Amino acid sequence: MDTLNRFTSLPGFLKRYEDLIIREIVPYQEKILWDQVEGAEKSHAFENFLLAAQKLETGRCEGTFYGMVFQDSDVAKWLEAVAYSLRIRLDAALEKRADEVIELIARAQHADGYLNTYFTVKAPDKRWSNLEEAHELYCAGHMIEAAVAMAECTGKTRLLAIMRRMADLMVKHFITENNEGFPGHPEVELALMRLYRYTGEADYLRLAQRFIDTRGSDFFTREREHRQWAIWSGHDDREYTQTHLPVREQRDAVGHAVRAIYLYSGMADVARETGEPALLEACRALWESVTRRRMYLTGAIGSAYEGESFTRDYHLPNDTAYAETCAAVGLVFFARRMLEMEKRSEYADAMERALYNCVLAGMQLDGTRFFYVNPLESLPGISGEAVTHRHALPQRPKWFTCACCPPNVARLLTSLGRYAWGLDEKAITAHLFVPGRLTLDDGAAVTLSTAYPAEGKLRFRFEAKKLPVNRAFALRLPAWSEHTEIRRNGSTAAYEERDGYAVLLGPFHDGDEVTVTLSMTPRRIYPSVRIGADSDRVAFTRGPLVYCAECVDNGGHVLNLQIEPESEIRVVPAEMLGGVATLRVQGRRLSDDGELYAYTRPQAEPCEITLIPYYAWSNRGLTEMRVWLPEA
């Protein structure tokens, strides 16, 4: 049962981000899409729709398509974030502007339902001929997601009607007419599943299944041989395009990380709907590959710039990490879908880690600058400049030529109710600890009050004025919490632990409370000895947050810092950087004698090392940064 429209957030850590997105980021991104922000990369995304509409209405257009071939998807993700924003806070002016954008999209749609500004403006005779590179299905998928979100959150179905016409055209092309093919960039699979669940139209489920079932063939090779044009190089890297194996045979996460994680999300959606064991088993194996052998401590995935890709087990370089923000967003999507099939805390643990660290780091605290790449070590003068490090910028830019990440963050952080809670006929489940109110049935509700992640105290209060809540209540027992105390109406609670969740049996009456105390003691984290980049290093966490050292707090450098083993970790309250505590730990600062190499060990002096939450790094100017620090 989708909890999106049942959840209302309350003041707290993530509420600040929700408010920031509604107040600042959605309007800022709207201006970006209209090319109205001075000094930002040009988008032209709305203009592309104007040109497409003009061409369909007059037979010609005064201008050319600009941007990436998937530029339409930026508009789609913005509209999806708008839908969630309007659900949270009514804004008549924003709603009117969104309606105008949707009417512009309608004008850019062909009579047969086809919608894609690149092909309408630039290549009208080439539609469906380059599924490998052209992102037609990817763009359609994101616009379908926006359409469903708009209908769910506002009740308005204009965009839904537009995108159902496009989806019906896709059904006709790939199923009725039996044309071969599947998307080079997965995404439409999960979008079709959202559309199927909202409308009940079985053809959309059939098309999602078809795209998943046919993946793994040599279709792109044959497509390349027959077409006479390309967008990029037309390379035959089957891991990159996720066509190296049929999906049910895949066991290792390879290739382009965002394509992979969107594919896995679609696979999980279909597996949940059909109950097919082989597809579920593939999802489990791929989850383990991603999170147990190829994921960074911050929840980031994708270790190589080349191909924006996974590489091999335990290859997790810090300063050249790709760690795309979109990939972390996608990991949240995949985790939620796995939770819908089987309630295991490891899914929610990874979802939380990606959300609070890599996803939040992808956006500056004021919401006006964004990271595409999220390295775990940054060195000004090398990061963003050396040929091997140009992708790993040390400071967030205002926008990108390829701007998939900023609107992805916006649509995720305005729909957290969908990820924080699970609800079915038997149980209410707290996956993430986001303060807010979850509405149940017959006027019942459960409210979570907490200062998490600054503190580890959670207070769940039930409202049940008509009838008791006859469901079990399950809450995640985070793997990072060494000691978790659960009380029910003041007394030690009786519960059963199931796959990392504490399950308390109902009924719950009006005013019943469940209070939870999580251990927020800072902890050292040590890497696997198989991660070469982190040999003899240590990192620090507190609750769900990963910490890092910036030179602004540590004498101007971090490369010369070493941690004293077993030294005390102090928690220091802080008002800066979102109000979450900093950590202090004893260490040593090594001297630099100016020589490139020397026969003598560097001199060291004791020092106190300050660590800040990783999500907040690069908010105070150009700085060195490290997550993994050597021990003395």
Q: What's the CA gap between 169 and 155, in Å, rounded?
A: 24
Q: List the one residue out of 262, 170, 184 whose CA is nearest residue 230.
A: 184
DSSP characters for 72-86? HHHHHHHHHHHHHHH
Q: What's the CA gap between 444 and 465, in Å, rounded?
A: 7
Q: What's the CA gap between 608 and 622, in Å, rounded?
A: 22
| Residue in the block written with tokens 């001075």 | 38
Determine phi and psi for 485, rounding to 5 degrees: -110, 130
- Whole-Å CA distances, 630 to 215, 530, 564: 44, 16, 9
Q: What's the CA gap between 132 and 222, in Å, rounded?
A: 11
Q: What's the CA gap between 352 and 335, in Å, rounded?
A: 9
Among the listed residues 139, 404, 405, 548, the single catalytic one is 404
Q: List the one residue out of 51, 107, 21, 55 whose CA is nearest residue 413.
A: 21
Q: List the one residue out of 480, 265, 256, 456 whose CA is nearest residue 353.
A: 480
Q: What's the CA gap between 422 and 78, in Å, rounded?
A: 26
DSSP characters for 154-173? H---HHHHHHHHHHHHHHII
Known catalytic membership, residue 404:
yes
Count CA within 13 A, CB hemisphere, residue 340. 22
Known catalytic membership, residue 177:
no
- Count of CB atoms situated within 10 Å of the CB of 487: 13
Q: Are 289 and 252 in contact (CB under 8 A)?
A: yes
Residue type, 556: G
Determine the Cα angle at 439 with ends 433 and 440, to 5°.
Answer: 110
Determine the Cα angle at 319 with ends 325 and 331, to 5°.
Answer: 25
DSSP characters for 410-425? HHHHT-THHHHEEE-S
The β-bridge relationship of strands 472-476 and 427-430 is parallel
Residue 445: strand pairing partners:
439, 463
DSSP characters for 553-617? GTTT-STTEEEPTT--EEEE--SSGGGPPEEEEEEEEE---S-SS-SSPPPEEEEEEEEEEGGGT
- Whole-Å CA distances, 337 to 180, 195, 198: 28, 15, 16
Residue 563: strand pairing partners:
587, 631
Q: Are 326 and 338 in contact (CB under 8 A)?
A: no
Residue type, 502: A
Q: What's the CA gap between 423 and 195, in Å, rounded?
A: 20
Q: Are 549 and 609 in contact (CB under 8 A)?
A: yes
Determine phi and psi for 363, rounding to 5 degrees: -135, 135
- Whole-Å CA distances, 136 to 49, 70, 72: 15, 8, 9
The two three-digit tokens of residue 45, written as one number = 């995304």
Among the listed residues 136, 152, 187, 308, the single catalytic one is 308
Q: Which residues are catalytic?
A: 308, 404
